[in-house]
Copies of this chain bind each other. A is one copy, B any other.
Amino acid sequence: MINAVGRDIPEEILKITGKEVFQGNHYRDGYTYKKNGPETKCVINNTESKLVDNIRQVLVKCGIRDGMTLSFHHHFREGDYIINMVMEEVYKMGIKDITICASSLGKAHDPIVPYIEEGVITEIQSSGVRGKIGEAISAGKLKGLAVMRSHGGRVRAIESGETKIDIAFIGTPTCDDYGNCRGIGGKNDCGVLSYAVVDADYADKVVAITDCLVPFPNFPAHISMTKVDYVVVVDEIGDSKKIATGAAKPTTDMRKLMMAEYCTQFVTHAPYFKDGFSYQTGVGGASIASTISLAKIMKEKNVRMRFGVGGLTKPMCDLLVNGQVDCLLDTQDFDLAAVESVKDLKHFRISAGEYANPFNKGAVVNKLDFVILAALEVDVNFNCNVVVDSNGMITGAQGGHPDTAAGAKCSIVIVPLLQGRTPAVCSEVTTVTTPGESIDVVVTDYGIAINPQRKDLIACMKGVDLPFKTIEQLRDIAYSIAGEPQKVPFGDRVVGIIESRDGTIMDVVRQVKPFEFSE
Contacts and interface: CB of A to CB of B under 8 A. Distances in A.
A105 to B, nearest CB: 26
Contacts of A225: 354, 361-362
A13 interface: no
A32 interface: yes
Interface string A33-46: 11111111111111
A327 interface: yes
A359 B40 CA distance: 8
B44 A26 contact: yes
A353 interface: yes
A44 B25 contact: yes
Contacts of A329: 217, 219
A514 interface: no
Contact of A40 (B29, B44, B361): B361
Contacts of A217: 307, 327, 329, 348, 364, 367
Given A217-B367, A219-B329, A226 B42 contact: no
A228 interface: yes
A488 to B, nearest CB: 32
Contacts of A367: 46, 178, 216-217
Output the residue of A206, A216, A224, A359 with the most chain B CB within 10 A: A224
A109 interface: no
A229 B306 contact: no
Contact of A361 (B25, B226, B361): B226
A499 B261 CA distance: 66
Nearest to A367: B216
Contacts of A420: none
A75 interface: no
Interface in A375-429: 406-409
Interface string A322-361: 0000010100000000000000000011100110011111
A366 interface: yes
B307 A361 contact: no
A340 B33 CA distance: 40
A209 to B, nearest CB: 16
B45 A26 contact: yes
Contacts of A46: 365-367, 407-409
B39 A37 contact: no
Contact of A366 (B26, B39, B43): B43
Contacts of A226: 353-354, 357, 360-363
A227 interface: yes
A28 interface: yes
A178 B360 CA distance: 12
A248 B361 CA distance: 41
Interface string A199-234: 000000010000000011101100011111100000
Contact of A32 (B25, B39, B364): B39
A361 B43 contact: yes
A31 B39 CA distance: 10
Q: Considering residues A38, A42, A220, A276, which has the most beta carbons from chain B within 10 angstroms of its beta carbon?
A: A42
A282 interface: no
A191 interface: no
Contacts of A45: 26, 29, 366
A356 to B, nearest CB: 10
A359 B38 CA distance: 12
B227 A360 contact: yes
Of listed A34, A40, A307, A359, residue having the most chain B CB within 10 A: A40
A17 to B, nearest CB: 20
Q: Which 3 A-B pairs have the closest CB atoms?
A: A35-B37, A226-B360, A46-B366
